[in-house]
Amino acid sequence: MNWEDLRYFQAIAEAGTLSGAARALGVDNATVSRRLTSIEETLKIRLVDRLARESRLTAVGKMVLEQVAVIEAGALAVERIALAARSQEHGKVVITAPPILARHLLAPNLRSLSQRHPLVQLSILSESQIVSLSRLDADLALRLSPPIEDTDIARKIGRMEFGLYAALDYPNAGQPAAWEFIAYTGRQADFAHKRWLYEVIGERRVVCEVTDLSNQYEAACSGIGVAGLPCFIGDEAPRLKKLSAGQPALSLDVWIALHPDRRHDSLVRNTMSQIEELVGASDLAVGAGDDHEAP
């Protein structure tokens, strides 16, 4: 059996179509179709029913998919163990973080983070969605919610407080009933900040919608309306002033996580310690110190 064919089969199962698998893998449809045919001919059984608008797993295909997941988990475990076992002074550390932390915490401090280990290349993934550490999508994760994967080792290292902000010359600053808000588009999924923001807005007008907090910050600076921003950004912004909201503020914990197999990886652990120090020296340090699980 060509084990690489299993990766294509898994992509078909996850995408639900050959074309979707091709997009996910960065290849053309013909390659995916050829790989599927190869594994079906090797096993001498049909794994996928190729329908007009979907590729549906057969009963046997579903059973095979369960075993493919086991094989993938084992292969990834071997890779994580090998990475952690290497004694490295140089290499790449991939850090995933919400856009607001990637832009306003990590990016401004990249020079100081890299100076202690100049041979380490830092790669910052500014991701709204949570990526998997077990699948090696990243080495470290900064998050605003506890870990989803139970295997992750995570530590609460800070707290992000939120408030309402508007431009210095915002004309309705003293009239809360007349505030117009900067909010999210309908494409963003439900999450804590979005829920809090719309509770604050209530029946008042949303003057514009943008996709993330960094864009909300820029929109607020333009003077168009009121935004619910992290205090560590809003309080330091010379173009903004904090408004007296009269409503409960939002507070989100800041977590850092790594996979257990990487706990002895010197590059990852050193970078993790640097980020913890960075957060500890910032306004995000309030309420830090509670472990989800000690590394």
Written as six digits, the tokens of 267 are 């590059």
Q: What pLDDT shows up at residue 191?
A: 85
Rounded distance between C-alpha atoms, residue 207 and residue 222, angstroms? 13
pLDDT grade for 294, boundaries at 50, 70 and 90: very low
pLDDT of 209 higher than 90? yes
Nearest 5°: CA angle at 113, between 128 and 79?
65
Per DSSP, 145 falls in state S
C-beta pairs of 284-288 under 8 Å, 24+ apart in sequence: 284/105, 284/157, 284/158, 284/159, 284/160, 284/232, 284/254, 285/158, 286/158, 286/159, 286/161, 287/156, 287/158, 287/159, 287/251, 287/253, 288/156, 288/157, 288/158, 288/159, 288/254
Give the whole-angstrom CA distance, residue 93 versus residue 108: 17
Position with higher pLDDT, 89 vs 182? 182
Residues 64 and 7: their CA atoms lie apart, in Å, by 12
The 10s digit of each residue's pLDDT in 90-140 is 578 899 999 899 999 999 998 888 887 777 888 999 877 777 787 778 889
* 4-26 pLDDT per residue, tens: 888 889 999 989 999 889 988 88
Reduce the DSSP state of residue 211 to 3 states and report it. Answer: coil
Supply the pLDDT for residue 89: 54
Name the more confident of 290 and 188: 188
When pLDDT is cut at 50, 70 and 90, the band that residue 72 belongs to is: confident
Using the predicted structure, report yes or no on whether residue 54 has a pLDDT greater than 80: yes
Q: What is the DSSP letter of 288?
A: -
Bigger pLDDT: 241 vs 212: 241
Are the CB atoms for 220 and 166 separated by under 8 Å?
yes
Q: Which of 257, 40, 262, 229 minimizes the C-alpha distance to 152?
A: 257
Reading the block at residue 94, the tokens are: 């991939």
Instruction: Go through the domains of the chain in sequence order and give each one's CATH number.
Output: 3-85 (1.10.10.10), 91-157+253-285 (3.40.190.10), 160-251 (3.40.190.10)
Distance of alpha carbon 109 from its chain centroid, rounded? 19
- Give pLDDT, residue 200: 93
What phi and psi values does residue 94 have, to the nearest 5 degrees? -95, 125
> pLDDT band for position 151 (50/70/90)?
low
In whole numbers, what is the pLDDT of the chain averaged over residues? 85
Mean pLDDT of the region 220-248: 91
Is residue 50 within a helix (H) or strand (E), and if so which, with residue range?
Answer: strand 48-50
Please, which pLDDT band fits residue 290 given cuts at 50, 70 and 90?
very low
Would you place residue 77 in the very low, low, confident or very high pLDDT band (cuts 50, 70, 90)? confident
Q: Are 86 and 93 in contact (CB under 8 A)?
A: no
Give the rounded percent of residues in the chain with a pLDDT score beyond 70.
92
Let me know: does 146 contact 118? Beta carbons within 8 Å.
no
pLDDT digits (tens, 9 = 90+) for 152-185: 788 899 999 999 999 999 999 989 999 999 999 8
Q: Assess whether pLDDT exceeds 70 at residue 43.
A: yes
Count of all residues that appear for the chain in the document: 295
291 has pLDDT over 50: no
Residue 221 has pLDDT above 70, yes or no: yes
